[in-house]
Structure 1
């Protein structure tokens, strides 16, 4: 049987399992078992046992539950509210005024949570009632929150970058550093969009009602200090080489617990809730990763990735053409799957093609995260949309419409890093020199 036919059979089988409601991890493992049983000469049971055991005690993967726990702790403390109050006085004079709190607040919280959904939930709980009470338009409140919360996937410590790094055996520290400039670029694009909307329609943004002098602004900004110290401790330890991402994650958990307790808003019950929530999320992601690893092993035995890479190489596709095709593919896939699932489902198949045309795997990781960010704000499976719907009760299609401009801004970011790859590669290259 030819490779294209085998590939189509396995892909069709995967979609049948997913459409039938089977867990993603079980769907991946079932397809891997079928591939080994019918299209290779290797043992299903032996490969399943070896793969699950070998990938279940990865030191790099240890950073994942720690960063998730750090975000859960911050979600349940008053540190996030203090951060909002500290930003608001400084942004009231900008075009778009307090809408920039959504953008910068999401960027800051993304730098300590690593999760898009946690960022949307935390910032949304604070900003939506406040901005509505001050008369800001609903579409911009929802749009800036949904779009900016996607920064949780890109700005380190990013959970999805850890997943990509583990799945493709790339340096997580280099991936984290590579996400800094693109993350800052997205913050700039989102803020410029808000400013342009405010300039185009001055009546859209309500007038500032409270004006503080410099001393009062500085006093309010004290709420930013704990979060700033946490970011500096985690990211600084990684960038300077003092600690690995896993060590930095452990440091982040300790600092977040200390700061949450000192804030006086973190109880023993909150801590237990954070532990349970982090355990549930971590187990779900780890289970998916094990299934994806088993699928990658089975694909190796069938020879599909190797033959597919050779086929792509013989076609002579340019990197730009391949990236254009992959972008459409990932956008469509993101309509039905969450970001982590997209990464683990595709890397074993896509990476040989990517490497065959000479694309840097570190650069491709950031590209992939940017494209996956789009899936967070597109129905029917847009996690950020669900989170915001849960906070507001607003119809998910209205939220998706409000987030549409940010979808195109993310697409613009993909174009920019494709035309100017140094946006991604400059810091990792500087780090390795």
Structure 2
């Protein structure tokens, strides 16, 4: 069958099944199976068995459930309360004041959870009612939460970077290192916008809190040290080349258990809840990855990636032109799918085009995560929007409107990373030379 006709049939089937509400993983398996049948490929059962086993038995993938478990353990500690009490005293004289607790709190929690939804839920559960009680503007309170929650996808240890690394066969440790500077850049963009907004909207800011003596500020910040110590230990072992991502994940789980025990939140109930939560999430992602691997092989048999790559080549797009087209494509796709599904659905078709255009796959991974972050705050399927709707009871479209400035800031971040690729590639190159 003609590859372009087959592409059209499989695309319609894919979106039809997704629109019906069928699980993403099952959809991937069915589309791959239909593609192989229409291509008259033999031994489909053998192809599926060997592909799914190979995808699910990768040692690199071991880091995924461990980092998820680490985040689940810390999710059940007093981390969010400690973040608020430790950060708030230092932000009283900064324009925007306690709104920055959302941004910095999400940035810190992102470094231990790796999940956007978990970051928004954990920080939002503590800060949203507190900011409302103190009279902060609802638009900025929820907007900073929605936007900053996306940091969980980029700041290592990011779950989605692990998924991309496995799919694209790129070093996860180097991806983690590459995500550090773009993550810090996003935090600065969010804080900069918040300060400018606060300076332009004095009337919408509540009165400043009474200032605390310096000794009390340091005392309040002591609660941050254990978590920051865990972050530095886990990420420092990766950046310093002392441990692989998987080994660092083991250290992270052990450290999270110790912190949970020391804070008195480690009980049989919380331990089992964290273990089951991590198991459910890991199984869901592993199921999707297995389906994506089968679809990738099926696409190879049908010749669709090669045909699409050749078609793109005939358009004469420059690497920049390809990035612009892919950005529009990913944002549109992200309106209907979660970030992990976007990555595993597209890598089999997109990566051959990217490689043919001479684009660095390490840089492309960071770019892809930034674009996927934008989809976390776009309706109808913006996971951060759902999380905040559940926390506050506000209309999802209202929350989406509040988060629009942060969507635009993420777009600016994509432009900056595209214009200055060294933002993503400088640290990994430095690590390699070291």
Range into which the TM-score falls when normalised by the shorter chain: over 0.9
Let me know the Cα RMSD of the aligned residues: 0.9
Residue 105 of structure 1 corresponds to 105
User: Deviations for 1:271-315, whole angstroms, at most 9, x for unmatched residues?
Assistant: 111111111111001000000000001111111112322332343
**TM-score after normalising by structure 1:** 0.99
**Contact persistence 1:79–1:226 (CA under 8 A):** no
Q: Give the CA deviation at 1:209.
A: 2.3
Partner SS for 2:150: helix
**TM-score after normalising by structure 2:** 0.98
Residue 216 of structure 1 corresponds to 216
Unaligned runs of 5+ in 1: none
**Contact persistence 1:86–1:221 (CA under 8 A):** yes
Q: Give the CA deviation at 1:107.
A: 0.2
**Contact persistence 2:107–2:148 (CA under 8 A):** yes
Q: 1: distance between equivalents of 2:265 and 2:35? A: 52
Q: Give the CA deviation at 1:324.
A: 0.7
**Contact persistence 1:334–1:381 (CA under 8 A):** yes
Q: Give the CA deviation at 1:40.
A: 4.4
Within 5 A, what are the aligned runs for 1:1-400?
1-400=1-400
Q: Give the CA deviation at 1:83.
A: 1.9
**Contact persistence 1:42–1:301 (CA under 8 A):** no
Q: 1: distance between equivalents of 2:415 and 2:427? A: 19
In terms of mean alpha carbon deviation, does 140-149 or 387-396 score higher?
387-396
User: Deviations for 1:29-79, whole angstroms, at most 9, x for unmatched residues?
Assistant: 111111111114332101111011111111111111111111111111112
**Contact persistence 2:4–2:307 (CA under 8 A):** no
Residue 429 of structure 2 corresponds to 429
Unaligned runs of 5+ in 2: none
Q: 1: distance between equivalents of 2:235 and 2:221? A: 21
Partner SS for 1:93: coil
Q: 2: distance between equivalents of 1:218 and 1:127? A: 21
Q: 2: distance between equivalents of 1:41 and 1:347? A: 22
In terms of mean alpha carbon deviation, does 261-270 or 177-186 score higher?
261-270
**Contact persistence 2:95–2:194 (CA under 8 A):** yes
Q: 2: distance between equivalents of 1:159 and 1:133? A: 34
**Contact persistence 1:40–1:302 (CA under 8 A):** no
**Contact persistence 1:62–1:246 (CA under 8 A):** yes
User: Deviations for 1:327-346, whole angstroms, at most 9, x for unmatched residues?
Assistant: 11111111100000000000
User: Deviations for 1:70-123, whole angstroms, at most 9, x for unmatched residues?
Assistant: 111111111231122101101111000000000000000000100000000110
In terms of mean alpha carbon deviation, does 46-55 or 106-115 score higher?
46-55
Q: 2: distance between equivalents of 1:431 and 1:310? A: 35
**Contact persistence 1:170–1:362 (CA under 8 A):** yes
Q: 1: distance between equivalents of 2:75 and 2:383? A: 17
Within 5 A, what are the aligned runs for 1:405-424?
405-424=405-424
Q: 1: distance between equivalents of 2:366 and 2:356? A: 18
Q: Give the CA deviation at 1:2.
A: 2.3
